Amino acid sequence: MPRLHYSGGQLPTPDAFARELSEAREVYDPLEELLALERVLLLLEQQHGLSSAEFYQRFLAGQGGDSPEVIAWVGRYEVYLSLKAAISQSLSRAGLPA
Protein backbone atom coordinates (compact mmCIF):
# COMPACT_ATOMS: atom_id res chain seq x y z
CA MET A 1 0.00 0.00 0.00
CA PRO A 2 1.39 3.41 -0.86
CA ARG A 3 2.71 5.35 2.09
CA LEU A 4 3.15 9.06 2.37
CA HIS A 5 5.35 10.24 5.22
CA TYR A 6 5.51 13.72 6.66
CA SER A 7 7.73 14.76 9.55
CA GLY A 8 8.48 17.84 11.53
CA GLY A 9 4.87 18.95 11.58
CA GLN A 10 5.05 20.03 7.95
CA LEU A 11 1.89 18.91 6.20
CA PRO A 12 1.26 19.55 2.50
CA THR A 13 -1.51 21.73 1.19
CA PRO A 14 -4.69 19.85 0.24
CA ASP A 15 -3.82 20.20 -3.46
CA ALA A 16 -0.26 18.95 -2.93
CA PHE A 17 -1.55 16.03 -0.86
CA ALA A 18 -4.06 15.06 -3.56
CA ARG A 19 -1.31 15.19 -6.19
CA GLU A 20 1.07 13.07 -4.04
CA LEU A 21 -1.68 10.55 -3.35
CA SER A 22 -2.52 10.29 -7.03
CA GLU A 23 1.16 9.74 -7.89
CA ALA A 24 1.47 7.05 -5.21
CA ARG A 25 -1.59 5.23 -6.57
CA GLU A 26 -0.08 5.22 -10.07
CA VAL A 27 3.03 3.32 -8.94
CA TYR A 28 1.25 1.00 -6.49
CA ASP A 29 1.59 -2.69 -7.36
CA PRO A 30 -0.78 -4.91 -5.36
CA LEU A 31 1.02 -8.08 -6.47
CA GLU A 32 4.31 -6.74 -5.11
CA GLU A 33 2.59 -5.93 -1.82
CA LEU A 34 1.10 -9.43 -1.69
CA LEU A 35 4.54 -10.97 -2.21
CA ALA A 36 6.07 -8.72 0.46
CA LEU A 37 3.36 -9.77 2.91
CA GLU A 38 3.98 -13.42 2.07
CA ARG A 39 7.68 -12.99 2.86
CA VAL A 40 6.92 -11.41 6.24
CA LEU A 41 4.33 -14.07 7.08
CA LEU A 42 6.75 -16.84 6.13
CA LEU A 43 9.34 -15.46 8.55
CA LEU A 44 6.76 -15.35 11.34
CA GLU A 45 5.65 -18.89 10.54
CA GLN A 46 9.23 -20.13 10.69
CA GLN A 47 9.87 -18.33 13.98
CA HIS A 48 6.77 -19.75 15.63
CA GLY A 49 6.52 -23.14 13.95
CA LEU A 50 2.97 -22.82 12.65
CA SER A 51 1.22 -21.49 9.60
CA SER A 52 -0.42 -18.11 9.59
CA ALA A 53 -3.78 -19.79 8.94
CA GLU A 54 -3.36 -22.01 12.01
CA PHE A 55 -2.13 -19.09 14.10
CA TYR A 56 -5.11 -17.00 12.98
CA GLN A 57 -7.61 -19.73 13.87
CA ARG A 58 -6.04 -20.04 17.32
CA PHE A 59 -6.19 -16.28 17.75
CA LEU A 60 -9.87 -16.19 16.81
CA ALA A 61 -10.48 -18.97 19.33
CA GLY A 62 -8.91 -16.81 22.05
CA GLN A 63 -5.68 -18.76 22.23
CA GLY A 64 -3.22 -16.22 20.86
CA GLY A 65 -2.83 -13.53 23.45
CA ASP A 66 -2.73 -9.84 22.73
CA SER A 67 0.93 -8.90 22.64
CA PRO A 68 1.97 -6.29 20.06
CA GLU A 69 3.67 -9.04 18.00
CA VAL A 70 0.48 -11.14 17.97
CA ILE A 71 -1.68 -8.17 16.97
CA ALA A 72 0.80 -7.22 14.22
CA TRP A 73 0.76 -10.79 12.86
CA VAL A 74 -3.05 -10.83 12.90
CA GLY A 75 -3.15 -7.48 11.11
CA ARG A 76 -0.68 -8.54 8.45
CA TYR A 77 -2.52 -11.79 7.87
CA GLU A 78 -5.87 -10.03 7.56
CA VAL A 79 -4.40 -7.55 5.07
CA TYR A 80 -2.89 -10.50 3.17
CA LEU A 81 -6.25 -12.29 3.01
CA SER A 82 -8.06 -9.14 1.93
CA LEU A 83 -5.51 -8.26 -0.74
CA LYS A 84 -5.43 -11.83 -2.03
CA ALA A 85 -9.23 -11.85 -2.31
CA ALA A 86 -9.26 -8.47 -4.08
CA ILE A 87 -6.66 -9.64 -6.60
CA SER A 88 -8.55 -12.88 -7.18
CA GLN A 89 -11.80 -11.00 -7.67
CA SER A 90 -10.14 -8.62 -10.16
CA LEU A 91 -8.74 -11.54 -12.12
CA SER A 92 -12.14 -13.25 -12.16
CA ARG A 93 -13.81 -10.11 -13.47
CA ALA A 94 -11.19 -9.90 -16.20
CA GLY A 95 -11.92 -13.51 -17.14
CA LEU A 96 -8.49 -14.73 -16.02
CA PRO A 97 -7.83 -17.71 -13.72
CA ALA A 98 -7.21 -16.64 -10.14
Residue 89 lies in a domain: yes
Residue 2 lies in a domain: no
Write out the residue range of the structural domain in which residue 49 sits.
29-93
Would you list the DSSP string of 43-79? HHHHHHTS-HHHHHHHHHTT-S---HHHHHHHHHHHH
Is residue 19 predicted with pLDDT exceeding 70?
yes
What digits encode the pLDDT tens for the residues 40-83?
A: 999 999 999 999 999 999 999 999 889 999 999 999 999 999 99
How many domains in the chain? 1
Residue 14 lies in a domain: no
